[in-house]
Structure formats: C-alpha cells, structure tokens
A and B are shown apart, each in its own frame.
Chain A
Amino acid sequence: MTNTEAILRSVSWNLTKYFSLILVSFTALLPLVSIVITAFKTPEEYRTTNVMTPPQSWLNFENFTFVWEKAGMGLAFFNSGVVLVAVLCGSIMISSMLAFVLNRIKFPGNGLVRNLFLFASLVPAVAMQVTVYQIMYTLNLINSLSGYIILLLGTDVISIYIFMQFFENLPVSLDESAILDGCTLFGVFFKILLPLLKPAIITCMILKGVSTYNEYYMANMYLQDKTRLQVVSTSLYTFTGPMGNQYNYICAGVLVTMIPALIIFILCQKQIYSGLAQGAVKG
C-alpha cells in the first residue's frame, strides 16, 4: 500500500519535474532559436515567410558575411578582446591588492576607506555620465581604448568586494607563519595569498568579464572614432539605424556576438557555475 503510494508519488513528481524543466528550458531557448532561424534567411525569405518557418538553407551564411563587414566586427572582436584582457588583469590586481591591505593591515582610516567603497557601490553610475565626461576629457582619456579601460577599472567595486570576502576566509595564521619564516609582506601577498585566491579570481573574471563584454553605454560615449575603436556591443548597436527592422541581418549580428560567449561557456561551464556560486555564498 505505502509502496504503491510511494511509487505513484515518485512518478508524479518525476513527471512534474521534467515537465517544468522542459517548459522553462523551452522558454529560455525560444527567443534564441527564433533568431537562429531568422539569421539564415535571405531578405526575400524573411519578408515572405513566418518568422518560425525554418530557412530553406541552413548554409546561407550571406547575412553573416554582410554584417561582419558592415559592422566591422573583426576589429570589434579584436578591440573587445584587448579591453577584456586589460580590464580583467587590471581589475584583479587592483582589487586583490586593495582587499589585502584593507583586510590584513590595520591603519587609521581603514574603516573609512571601506565605507568609501561601500558607498560608491550605491551611486548610480549611468546618472553621472555628464560630469564623468568632463573629467575624462580633462584627463585626455576620450577616444582611446586605454582611457575606456581605465574608466572601467575605476568604476569597479564588485571585484573589491569579492576579494574582501575571500580574505576573510583565509586564516591570518598563514601570513604569520610565512613572516616568521622570513617572508616579506610583498612575499606574503604574491607568493602565499594570491595563489590561494584562485577561486575569487575566477569569480571576478566571470562577473567582470560578462559586464565588460556587454558594456555599451560608456563604450558608445568614449570610444568615438568608430572606424578604429569599435567594440562588440557598439558594433551591434550600429544595426539600429540603417538596418531598421531587417531582422535577418540583425539576428545574424546578434548571433555572431553570442558565439564567443557560447564557446567560453561550453568550455568552462563548471568553473563558471562554481565561480558564480562562490561569489554569492556570503551574499
């Protein structure tokens, strides 16, 4: 009696479980599938067939070559790559060093500095662009990738927080024993602690990497010379104007920008999940 009940319960639970998972995955995939379909259609096909009708040929790459050239995506990917590498390296160095000082060294003003950064995370960055623009100009940082990189580094509070959290969990006894062995503070940081921060570095790379690759607002404002300084997000934005609603091209463009993210995601799925989870366990 209880046995059949248990089986019934398990069957119905399994049904609900898989039904709900399939439903949610379908919803997650539907918008993406629709753009894949449209990206392979010829302009004529796009105009005459329903959006969900599969294209006549899945090998029609014309839209892709068209948008690749039109939006200068080769250059855009190169620039985005440069920005990504520089921002990730810079941000990891800056944030881990700062977090080290704030966590390990007591100095007057330690609490103040922490609060300064906490408060900074509450300021709506987009709202201040008017004034930031003038500062960027004064520093001669407009229209250069390095200026854009510096700005992205300068508005980075999340990474600092991630590293602060990780330092909390690294016992101070590690430093102390290293110092007793004759290690300098620099040595403690670079030789002992930094290697232990690997999970934090991964978390930081994911969060900062996603936001940097997708950042559009400031790229549009500060990387003005689009023939030279196009990045992926701004190259995608060029479709808004002249291509209007020609979605066969737009979808191809969207797809192209998603491919690197997809590849990295498939290759580093595990690290991404655990990195994200680590970043949030303590909130």
Chain B
Amino acid sequence: MKRIISLILAMGMAATMVACGNSSNNSAPQAAEPTAESAAEQPAPSGQDGGNISAAGVAIDQIILGEDYTDLSAEIRFKTHRTDIMDTILQGYADDFREMYPNITVTYEGITDYSETMTTRLSTPDWGDACMIPTTIPLTELENYFHPFGATATLSEDYNFADNRAFGGTTYGLPSTSNAQGVLFNKAVFAKAGITDIPKTPDEFLDALKKIKDNTDAIPLYTNFAAGWTMGAWDAYISGSATGDPDFMNIKLPHAKDPFANRGDGTGPYAVYYVLYEAVKRGLVEDDPATSDWESSKGMLNRGEIGTMVLGSWAIVQMQEGGPNPDDIGYMSFPISVNGTQYATAGADYCYGINKNSSDEVKLASMLYIKYLVEKSNFDYDQGGIPTVKSHEFPSTLAAFDGIDLVADAPAKAGEEDLFVNINVDSEVSLNMDNQHVISIVEAALTGSATLDDLMADWNARWTASQQKYGAGA
C-alpha cells in the first residue's frame, strides 16, 4: 500500500517537474538560444517514471556541450573535498570551461573534514550550487536535496555507475571518477625482498610483508593511520574484492547472519581486516602509526622506502608523481582469492550533485559544467580511475587488473534502499562512513587490548541487534 502511494506521489512530482521545466524554458530564451540539436527540450521517451525530465528542462545526456546554451550566464559555487588540487587542477577546468561558456564562472570552495561538514551544511537549502554528494545522505533522501540528472536506465547506457546515487529510477549524481580497489606496491622493493609471485591470499601477503621486513630497509605496509580517512579505505575491499559477489554489500549484508565472522577460507570482510590486524600485530607496519604522514608517504613509496599501501586506484597517479621512479609503482588486487579467482571491488568515487534549490539558470549551468567535468576534463583518466563515460578508454594504470574481474556492488532491492544505511548507522559499525571502526582494529593490534575475533564478535552482535530492530533478521 505504501509503495503504491509513494509511486503516485512520484508520478505527481514528475508531472510538476515537467510543468516546471516548460515554464523555465519559456522564461529562459534570452539567456539560452536553443539550437536545432538541443532536442533536449522534448521529453525523451522513457520507460521510467519520467525521471529524465529535470527542472531546468534537460537530462544531462541530451545536452550538446559547447553548442547548447552558450549564452547562459551564471555563477556556480562548487564545494569540493580536494583541497589539494582546488587551486590548480580544478581551477584549470573552470578556466577551460569558460572558453566554451564565457559567462559561466565557477568558484571552488575546498572543505577539510568534507563529509561531516557538508552534511551539516546540507541541512540548510542554500549551501552552494554543486558539490560532491556525501555518502551520509540516504538514497531515499536524494530527491529532497539534489537536482535529477535523468533516468538511471537511460544514463546507464552512457555512463558507468550512473546508479550509484540514484533512487526510484532517477539519477541524482554522476561519479567524478571511479575506482578499482587494489593494493599499491613498489616493484623494486618486491624484487629486492625476493617476492617473485604476487601474493593472492592474506597469508601469502603477510609472508611477503615479512620478507620485505627481513630483506630490505623498507616499511612493509604503511597504514597512514594518522590521516584517518586512509583507514576508512579498508572498507572498500570487503565487498567485491573479498567475496566476488556483486550482491554482497547492498543486498546480502543487511540480512546476513554474523557477516564479520571468520569464514575460515580467507575470504569475506574478516579476511580483509585480518590482513590489517596481523600486519600491525606482527610489526610489519610503520614504527609509530600515530605520527605517520600522508603527504610524505607518496615520496616514500616511490623511492622504495615503503613496500605496500592499501589504497584505491585513484592513488596510483599520485604515487607515480611522488618521486623519481614512476615505473616502480605497481598495483595489484587485494590478496584474497575466492575459489582460486581474484576479484576487485569497483565503484564510484564521490559523485557530483546539483543543489535542487538553486535557480534554474544555475542548475543548468551546473549541469553543463558537470557534463564538461565528466566528459571533457579527463579528470577520471588523469587520476588513474575508471572513466565515467563508458566509451572512454581505461587508463594504463589499471593494466595490472587485466584478467581480474571487477565487481561493482548491485543496488539494493526496491523498498530496501535505506536498510543498509539504517543498520550501518544504528549499529555504529559505520562501514564506508567513518574511520573509527578501522582505527579500533589498529589500536587493538598495537596495544593487544583485544583479538580480531573479539572485535568482529562485537561488530556482529551490534549488527544483529540493529538487524532485528529494522526487521531484517537473518
């Protein structure tokens, strides 16, 4: 019954959106001279509930960049987490974009503690015009904050992971780049340590780290503990990399009984955290994680002072550029094999979103700029990520993943979109949300205050309690 009501509501909203779209088209002509190509004004036929009609009248796949709306003038306030490249690379994109759209200016604001800060700001309507959508926003709430890009089904034909920030058949965010999750390593260090075969299981990997420690001066595994967010990165491996199952994260995990328990075969979430716990416990990490340093770790890996680092594919380029030896940087799949096969989690990084409360001109301008970012800027390629546009080629950095199956998480079943988030938040396990739970693994391993089994039993207990609360018992 509830479903039906909400469906009717959605249709009603779609209808008003169409109305909005038309009115804005009528009021826009002085700013935007629609060309013949911009068939965008015609609502494209679609099986979905009209989701591809946006308030500004256009779905992102139907805009022709550089031809449509070139007279549009607007100012876009763009919020980003990349404080490091905000003034350089990102500003460069904004300048480049101005060549095509001389009257659109983009002002970036970089935010430290991005996810937390942005979540607070989103509680007020006028937070800016475009941002990287924080993952703290439940999918069910997207429509209340963000402007739709179009129908997920249609956009998925052109774009990878168009379903990442989507709800009810409508997409509210497109990936800035996407990652394949693996492990960075220094080839020279591996050679010097006498590691000939790339480790494929947790124990092989730990043995390899031991070899690095015994045979070289390098730090076997650098945790980057002090930076915090680098610890949260470990969560990325528990789905595809650890299970090879696209349904694991969003469909099975909310219902699974004791999902963090030791499976005994070196797979699953336990195996991922086991690698971290054991590496720390056996002294195979930096001497004092609490004072480790993210910036200098790039140069250290490059120069062979670090053996391995567990980070997504976005980090490859930064490591290559971190010092004189770009060719020494290697990327391998996370050392877990499921029935002898290796997989790698693949998924969207932060997605671009547009404030639904901005004016129609600004929304349209933002969409133009995001289209530029996604299709023309080459940001994803330059960052060594999986391109958002399906037809774009993969960067060579991912060549190491040839032959390894990339596994993307399938979206949750309809009606269960917020189940995972609810359990995740309520249990305070906070996968992919905060860093505290991974930090606690390192703390326990360093101080010996708890075994990994203790920790995982605790997570399981909390997970189960929250499952019961939300009626998702195993």
Which residues of A are in contact with B by a Cβ distance under 8 Å? 129-130, 133-134, 137, 142, 220-221, 224-227, 237-238, 240-246
A241 touches B84 (CB 8 A): yes
A244 contacts across to B, CB distance below 8 A: 227, 293-296
Interface contacts beyond A224-B109, A245-B226: sample of 13 additional A-B pairs, CB < 8 Å, sorted by A: A130-B120, A134-B123, A137-B124, A225-B109, A226-B110, A227-B109, A241-B84, A242-B295, A244-B227, A244-B294, A244-B295, A245-B291, A245-B296
A277 to B179, alpha carbons, bound, how many Å? Answer: 59
- Contact (A241, B291) CB under 8 Å given A133-B124, A142-B124, A224-B109: no
Contact string against A for B residues 290-329, beta-carbon threshold 8 Å, 1 for contact and 0 otherwise: 0111111000000000000000000000000000000000
- Contact (A245, B293) CB under 8 Å given A134-B123, A134-B124: yes
A142 contacts across to B, CB distance below 8 A: 124
A221 touches B120 (CB 8 A): yes
A237 to B113, alpha carbons, bound, how many Å? Answer: 11
Whether B427 is near chain A, meaning CB under 8 Å from some CB there, is no
Q: In terms of DSSP, what is the predominant structure of the interface of chain B?
A: mixed
B123 touches A133 (CB 8 A): yes
- Contact (A246, B109) CB under 8 Å given A221-B117, A224-B121, A241-B83: no
Chain B residue at minimal CB-CB distance from A224:
B109
Chain B residue at minimal CB-CB distance from A129:
B120
B111 contacts across to A, CB distance below 8 A: 224
Whether B42 is near chain A, meaning CB under 8 Å from some CB there, is no
Contact of B112 among A129, A134, A238, A246 (CB under 8 A): A238
- Contact (A226, B227) CB under 8 Å given A130-B120, A133-B124, A246-B295: no
B123 contacts across to A, CB distance below 8 A: 130, 133-134, 137
14 contacts across the A-B interface (CB closer than 8 A): A129-B120, A130-B120, A130-B123, A133-B120, A137-B123, A142-B124, A221-B117, A224-B109, A227-B109, A238-B112, A241-B83, A244-B293, A245-B293, A245-B295
B293 contacts across to A, CB distance below 8 A: 244-246
A136 to B4, alpha carbons, bound, how many Å? Answer: 39
Q: How far is the CB of A244 from chain B (nearest CB, A)?
A: 4
A129 to B117, alpha carbons, bound, how many Å? Answer: 12
Within 8 A of A (CB), among B251-302: 291-296
How many B residues, CB 8 Å from partner?
21
B226 contacts across to A, CB distance below 8 A: 245
B107 contacts across to A, CB distance below 8 A: 227
A226 to B79, alpha carbons, bound, how many Å? Answer: 12
A237 touches B112 (CB 8 A): yes
Q: How far is the CB of A225 from chain B (nearest CB, A)?
A: 6
A242 touches B83 (CB 8 A): yes
A227 to B79, alpha carbons, bound, how many Å? Answer: 13
A220 to B121, alpha carbons, bound, how many Å? Answer: 12
A238 to B293, alpha carbons, bound, how many Å? Answer: 15
Q: How far is the CB of A138 from chain B (nearest CB, A)?
A: 8
A130 to B122, alpha carbons, bound, how many Å? Answer: 12
Chain B residue at minimal CB-CB distance from A225:
B109
B117 touches A240 (CB 8 A): no
Q: How far is the CB of A8 from chain B (nearest CB, A)?
A: 49
Query: Among the interface residues A129, A224, A240, which one has the most CB atoms of the partner chain B within 10 A?
Result: A224
A226 touches B109 (CB 8 A): yes
Chain A residue at minimal CB-CB distance from B227:
A244
Q: How far is the CB of B111 from chain A (nearest CB, A)?
A: 8
A129 to B121, alpha carbons, bound, how many Å? Answer: 12
- Contact (A241, B112) CB under 8 Å given A130-B120, A133-B124: yes
A227 to B111, alpha carbons, bound, how many Å? Answer: 12
A240 to B84, alpha carbons, bound, how many Å? Answer: 11
A133 contacts across to B, CB distance below 8 A: 120, 123-124
A244 to B84, alpha carbons, bound, how many Å? Answer: 11
B294 contacts across to A, CB distance below 8 A: 244
